[in-house]
Amino acid sequence: NAGVTQTPKFQVLKTGQSMTLQCAQDMNHNSMYWYRQDPGMGLRLIYYSASEGTTDKGEVPNGYNVSRLNKREFSLRLESAAPSQTSVYFCASSEAWRTGWGFGSGTRLTVV
């Protein structure tokens, strides 16, 4: 039982490059989320998908786009990476708003 799987685990980008972070869950959860974690800032919500076919902005959506490809997969895209996007990114999924939350192990992204 893999839970929530994120790829890649580490990535270094140059300013202006683009990339997509992949996330897949095997728990048949309806909702999926992307958070970023920065020192002293806690976890901040970037985008979320309450159910397949819907996406909504979170607290810090600027510079990101998302795609809910199907019920299992939710990707996060950086079109033109900036140093301010250096962070650890976590994907999560939940059965419902309050229950069954699970997190991936994170993607550590450095933009130089």
Q: Is 50 in the site for other proteins (CB under 8 A)?
A: yes
**Residue closer to other proteins (CB basis): 17 or 95:** 95
**Residue closer to other proteins (CB basis): 17 or 37:** 37
Q: Is 86 in the site for other proteins (CB under 8 A)?
A: no
Q: How many CA atoms lie within 13 A of 21 on its CB side?
A: 33
Please give the Cα distance from 17 to 11 (Å, whole number): 12
Residue count, binding to other proteins (CB under 8 A) = 25
Q: What are 44's two structure tokens? A: 């901040």
Q: Cβ(74)–Cβ(49) under 8 Å? A: yes
Q: Is 33 in the site for other proteins (CB under 8 A)?
A: yes
Q: Is 105 in the site for other proteins (CB under 8 A)?
A: yes
Q: Is 61 in the site for other proteins (CB under 8 A)?
A: no
Please give the Cα distance from 44 to 87 (Å, whole number): 11
